[in-house]
Amino acid sequence: MTVSLETIANLAKRRGFVFQSSEIYGGIRSAYDYGPVGVLMLRNVKDQWWKSMVQCRGDVVGLDSAIIQARAVWKASGHEDAFTDPLVECRNCNARHRLDKLEDPDQCPNCGKRGTFTEPRQFNLMFKTHTGPVESDDNLVYLRPETAQGIFINYENVRRTNRMKLPFGIAQVGKSFRNEITPGQFVFRTREFEQMEMEFFCRPEEAPRWFDYWQEERFRWYTDLGMREENLRIRPHDPDELSHYSAGTVDIEYAFPWGWDELEGIANRTDYDLRAHSEASGEDLRYFDQETNERFFPYVIEPAAGATRTMFAFLIDAYHEEEVNGEQRVVLKLDPRLAPYQVAILPLSKKPELTEPASKIADSLRSEFMLEYDETQSIGRRYRRQDEIGTPLCVTYDFDSIEDHSVTIRHRDTMKQERVSIDRLAEALRDALKN
Ligand code: GAP
């Protein structure tokens, strides 16, 4: 089913996934806060990315570089000159737009007037700030607009300290900042967001093969975590779309409620960055091949995904409305590895003879499962909440449990229920989450 942006945004807010930042002051459109449920899911997205990109491979290591870097980094990388979007302003209503994103480049989508745009000017997307107490051009710094440069400037540190041999990758997850002209579509385009990027260094002649390899790997990552294949596609960039550093880029696109749009970019950055930093810093960042005695700049294939945008796409993809016994049920069919909670423990009612043992069961399982214990409201409402936040398994402790020392496990997708002895509960949950 196709779900509207509004429906997802409402669910996200109602259930504690995502809140508007600074909401009590009227909100700020370009930033969002992740609530108790959202932070768990976002963490799971990032953990799954890390697991597949670092933990399960022998050729990729991790890094966590600073958000504030020397201004020279962004001069050398080309961002200070070229990390821009074309900005036009409507003379009639003063609305500002990104020219390359307008459906009709002559008509203002805000007021509908034609021929009212100013000449386009290139607007740099990097946020500026200053280090130290005095604001001057000498201490101007930027908040990083991509995590990638932190990797390039540490390339030699990582290669040397970890004795890396080509081909190898350096992965990083963290915040990036862009002063987007038109943030919007909920968390899709924000000014503060999180990225999951990996720079894969290889011999120049092997770059085309690794470019194909990473497209397949990354596409599979989404489908393996349950994203529907028909909602994903790979789109090569037109030559005029390419970033200043790229010899070829494809986007993995998702069928968002407003149409196909970028989820992740995979680029062949050539030796652009290492060469640029070598020249600007005076450090020789060439790779020395001991077998051939050659020195050369490795090429780089970069899969670059947005963590917050990916979480958003998984939310949309998992959203289902179903009719059950004449009533509508909203359920997020999230893969258990992404679901905020794996298990909910629900005493049937608020009576102490049920809540006390049920909360003891919850405590005994907390170290193994991310779980929610909930004794508020009717059992029906509590199931509804767990369905809406995608909890795969609910465990109910009822009056029979006192006698038979068993509980009921309810499966989110099938709504099937099974009775399990409390002694065997952890094992049964483990098995159910695997399938
Ligand atoms: N290092 C390459 C790079 O940053 P990008 O295509 O500009 O490439 C990579 O960004 C990913 O980061 C995008 O595919 C998207 O998922 C995410 N991203 C970029 N700008 C974003 C924004 N303003 N808000 C949310 N996510 C964003």
**131 pLDDT band (50/70/90 cuts)?**
very high
Q: Is the CB of 265 under 6 A from ligand 1?
A: yes
Q: Which residue's CA is the closest to the ligand 1 atom numbered 17?
A: 306
Q: Give domain status of residue 330, yes or no.
A: no
**342 pLDDT band (50/70/90 cuts)?**
very high
The number of folded domains in the chain is: 2
Residue type, 2: T
Q: How far is the CA of 47 from the centre of ligand 1 (A)?
A: 18
Domain of 169, CATH number, reads: 3.30.930.10
Give the number of the atom of ligand 1 that is nearest the alpha carbon of residue 178. 23
Q: Give domain status of residue 109, yes or no.
A: no
What pLDDT does residue 29 have? 83
Q: How far is the CA of 344 from the centre of ligand 1 (A)?
A: 34
Span 353-369, pLDDT tens digits: 999 999 999 999 999 99
Sheet containing strand 121-124, edge to edge, reads 96-98, 84-89, 121-124
**98 pLDDT band (50/70/90 cuts)?**
very high
Span 217-233, pLDDT tens digits: 999 999 999 999 999 99
What pLDDT does residue 240 have? 85
What pLDDT does residue 276 have? 98
Q: Give domain status of residue 182, yes or no.
A: yes
Residue 6, H or E segment = helix 5-14
Q: How far is the CA of 252 from the centre of ligand 1 (A)?
A: 12
Residues 245 and 388 in one domain: no
Residues 152 and 254 in one domain: yes
Q: Give domain status of residue 99, yes or no.
A: no
For residue 1, is pLDDT > 80? no
Span 279-300, pLDDT tens digits: 999 999 999 999 999 999 999 9
Angle, CA of 254, 255 and 259, to the nearest 5° = 120
Domain of 373, CATH number, reads: 3.40.50.800
Contact in structure between 307 and 195 (CB atoms under 8 Å): yes
Residues 300 and 429 in one domain: no
Last residue of a domain, one of 315, 330, 364: 315
For residue 243, is pLDDT > 90? no
Q: How far is the CA of 84 from the centre of ligand 1 (A)?
A: 14
Mean pLDDT within 131-160: 96
Report which of 232, 188, 176 is spatially closest to residue 9, judged by C-alpha positions. Answer: 188
Tell me how far apart the alpha carbons of residues 428 and 97 are, in angstroms, rounded to a whole number. Answer: 54
What pLDDT does residue 310 have? 98
Question: What is the separation of C-alpha 363 from the centre of its chain, rounded to a whole number of angstroms?
Answer: 31
Q: Is the CB of 261 under 6 A from ligand 1?
A: no
Q: How far is the CA of 188 from the centre of ligand 1 (A)?
A: 10
For residue 435, is pLDDT > 80? no
Q: Give domain status of residue 336, yes or no.
A: no
Residue 170: strand, helix, or coil? strand
Q: Residue 195 sits in which domain range?
A: 5-68+138-315
For residue 242, is pLDDT > 90? no
Angle, CA of 165, 167 and 172, to the nearest 5° = 95
Q: Give domain status of residue 241, yes or no.
A: yes
Residues 366 and 302 in one domain: no
Residues 281 and 430 in one domain: no
Residues 308 and 348 in one domain: no
Residues 260 and 144 in one domain: yes
Residues 349 and 307 in one domain: no
Residue type, 321: E
For residue 244, is pLDDT > 90? no
Q: Give domain status of residue 334, yes or no.
A: no
Residues 286 and 170 in one domain: yes
Q: Give domain status of residue 58, yes or no.
A: yes
Span 170-197, pLDDT tens digits: 999 999 999 999 999 999 999 999 999 9
Mean pLDDT within 24-37: 95
Span 45-86, pLDDT tens digits: 999 999 999 999 999 999 999 999 999 999 999 999 999 999
For residue 266, is pLDDT > 80? yes
Residues 255 and 368 in one domain: no
Residues 307 and 363 in one domain: no
Q: Is the CB of 299 under 6 A from ligand 1?
A: no
Q: Is the CB of 273 under 6 A from ligand 1?
A: no
Residues 144 and 209 in one domain: yes
Report which of 184, 320, 207 is spatially closest to residue 261, judged by C-alpha positions. Answer: 184
Q: Is the CB of 193 under 6 A from ligand 1?
A: yes
Q: Which residue's CA is the closest to the ligand 1 atom numbered 18?
A: 306
Last residue of a domain, one of 264, 281, 315: 315
For residue 241, is pLDDT > 90? no
Lowest mean pLDDT among 208-222, 235-249, 256-270: 235-249
**Look-up of token digits 């309810």:** 410
Q: Is the CB of 190 under 6 A from ligand 1?
A: yes
Cross-strand partners of 73: none
- Global pTM reads 0.96
What pLDDT does residue 347 have? 98
Residue 395, H or E segment = strand 393-397
Q: How far is the CA of 221 from the centre of ligand 1 (A)?
A: 18
